Structure 1
Amino acid sequence: MRRSILLATALGTLVAAAPARADEVSDAIAEAQRAYAAGRIPAAQTALQEALQLLAQRAAAGLAGALPAALPGWTAEEAQSNAAGISGIFGGSSASRRYANAQGQSVEIQVMSDNPLIAQLAAVLANPMLAGAMGRLVRVGEQRAIQSNDGNIQMLVDNRILVQVQGDAGPEAKLAYARAIDIARLTGR
């Protein structure tokens, strides 16, 4: 009984969040509704899991869309997004993009969202005293970030999105790339 109530609640939440137009997410939700109405609970669960995976893939693509184009003098590889792998094991989505310049230096931006591991790190990053012990506090737009001695940057956005800017380029290049990230798009605002 409790399992049925939880399934019905999940169905209702997904249906309420689903857009009106038909697409693969709303199709999976509709399939789950039909299976649930017919009493086929395992089929309803499978369809809901499919809808959740499709939503995670869209979220990962949204993260990738927030990564900047190459800055002047740099080239960029294609952005990669993922709703599986390490972030998929623990939940959430991830995206990354690598940049290189003519001197052979590189910068890589990695973004993870809605991952329980981020929640553990959030307590440290949200506290300026603890964050300051990890490196130099810098501002990236309205966001507080930590820049370590090697110039790598960690930033927590919206208390659920971890941004890491790493590589062998200088600290200024890493900070410039961090500032080029579309934070509004990253958060979906």
Structure 2
Amino acid sequence: MRRSILLATTVVTLLAVGPARADDVADAITEAQRAYQGGRIQAAQTALQEALQLLAQRAAANLAAALPDALPGWTAEEASSSATGAAGFFGGANASRRYTNAQDQSVEIQVMSDNPMIAQLGAVMSNPMLAGAMGRLVRIGDQRAIQGTDGNVQMLVDNRILVQVQGDAPAEARLAYARAINVAKLAGR
């Protein structure tokens, strides 16, 4: 029962912090509350898990919305996003978008948020000495990023969002795409 109350508190907190509420999220929370008050603990847990998954899907869509449009001379595929829930090593929200130029060179931006892998990588990336050992430090707005010897760019935003820009396009193009990302939107500012 204590776990259910904690989960309900977490969902309500997420709603208060997140963007405008969607009816499906509010409906799932209401359903969970009714089930809990009726003594149907399993149904309450399921409804709360549904609300969390719906919030994760919204977070993934917000990540995708922060990905840039195609730069001049490039075309962009539709951004894709997914939410894998809170369980597992790769849980959280993900988004990606691929860009191609006339020479058939490509850049792909991948964004992941709120999963245990990022927390572990964050300790390395937030330390300039360790990060410098991974490649050349570059600035993306007010963010520190690492451009590896292969030209790929990695950046940690808000200590919870990992951005990776990779591909076979020249390193300058990958860096230009990294700089075109709406970092403020990624962080939810």
TM-score normalized by structure 2? 0.93
Cα 1:175–1:26 change in 2 (3 A) is same
Match of 1:137 in 2: 137
Q: Distance in 1 between matches of 2:125 and 2:82?
A: 24
User: Are 1:37 and 2:34 matched, yes or no?
Assistant: no
| Letter aligned with residue 148 of structure 1 | G
Cα 1:150–1:16 change in 2 (3 A) is closer
Q: Distance in 2 between matches of 1:125 and 1:151?
A: 17
| Gap regions ≥5 residues in structure 2 | none
| Letter aligned with residue 100 of structure 1 | T
Cα 1:145–1:22 change in 2 (3 A) is closer
Cα 1:139–1:21 change in 2 (3 A) is closer
Q: Distance in 2 between matches of 1:82 and 1:88?
A: 14
| Letter aligned with residue 139 of structure 1 | R
1:101 deviates by 0.1
**RMSD of the TM alignment (CA)?**
1.7
- Summarize the alignment of residues 46-125 of structure 1 with structure 2, pairs less than 5 Å apart: 46-84=46-84, 89-90=88-89, 91-125=91-125
Match of 1:13 in 2: 10
Q: Distance in 2 between matches of 1:137 and 1:152?
A: 12
TM-score normalized by structure 1? 0.93
Sequence identity percentage: 74
Task: Out of 89-98 and 10-19, give the one that drifted further.
Answer: 10-19
Task: Out of 53-62 and 13-22, give the one that drifted further.
Answer: 13-22
1:106-134 CA-partner distances (Å, limit 9, x unpaired): 00000000010001100110011111111
